[in-house]
Amino acid sequence: MIRAGIIGGAGYTAGELVRLLVNHPAAEVAWIHSESQAGKAVAEHHPGLVGDTELVFTDQVDLEGIDVLFLCSAHGKSRAFWAEHPCPAGLKVIDLAQDFRDESDGYVYGLPELNRNRIAGADKVANPGCFATAIQLSLLPLAKAGLLEGDIHVQAVTGSTGAGVKPSPTTHFSWRDNNLSAYKVLTHQHLAEIRRNLGVGDNLHFVPVRGGFPRGIFAVSELACSRSLEEVTALYQAFYADAPFTFVLPVPVDLKQVVNTNKCLISLELVDGRLVVTAVIDNLLKGASGQAVENLNLLFSLPETAGLRLKALAF
């Protein structure tokens, strides 16, 4: 069994990661670190894990006794962690923060549909951002074919769990429910990794929106397109032919099809020379912990779908 350690175990992504790993056929959780919850039963803090694990949060770090380390702390804390802890030879690392998404310090950007072979040969993987995952999967086939023409406009609505477990005014139920609001307009931090990997520079414009629901991302991209819908559809289907979690559908997609899964569903429409690409993912799974487990599988030469056959909450 692959022994895993988790840093930053109190957050939403860590809770989902534990849920996946305790049911994974080839992995087990050795320890879960949390300074704020040390000594408390993991299932007490993450009540959805009652009956699934008897682990207790620890404030100790033992990197020698594990095969893979997941970093689930807030952005900026991964670099601080490595400043205090030497990395043992042979330890695999999957970082869910944004610290190494620029592929510094030997990290490989962990979007399997883009870097599957590089991930399989890596020691350290930087998991993509949730918005970045949805938007890149929306546009990668066009980018690889040189068809990202002119300005690209993206709007994406995210669930409240994307803001993390720590309460804030914009995650409070009475404010968030039955409400929408834009934020970080044209300046969101995920733009850097999106623009770099798609090779679009400042031509991609992104407006993120807070949605009145807990989980999911609904991303709509719109751009000029000189090809027919049939040509574009064939391009997308060929690009994702070997991707076990990304599907191109001939009908509109919705969030309930992907919530609680590691899937990305994509639909395409062409209107008067403008292509509209809609993509939906679960921000905590394909946008975070599910993709981290997908990367774990690639790192250890396991089937990419191991531990990730999850049913959508479709009703």
In sequence order, the 6+-apart residues with CB closer than 8 A to the CB of 225 are 147, 149, 232, 270, 273, 274, 275
Radius of gyration of the chain (CA): 19
φ/ψ of 267, rounded to 5, equals: -130, 155
Catalytic residue among 72, 87, 130, 225: 130
d(CA 186, CA 207): 6
Active site residue 87: no
Find tokens 């300005």 and name the residue. Answer: 151
* Cα of 102 vs its chain's centroid, Å: 16
Which neighbouring-strand residues pair with 4?
A: 29, 68
Strand 149-158 versus strand 217-224 pairing type: antiparallel
Distances (CA, A) of 215 to 79, 211, 287: 28, 9, 10
84 with 291: CB under 8 angstroms?
no
SS3 226: coil
SS3 132: helix
In sequence order, the 6+-apart residues with CB closer than 8 A to the CB of 10 are 34, 36, 37, 45, 57, 165
Catalytic residues: 130
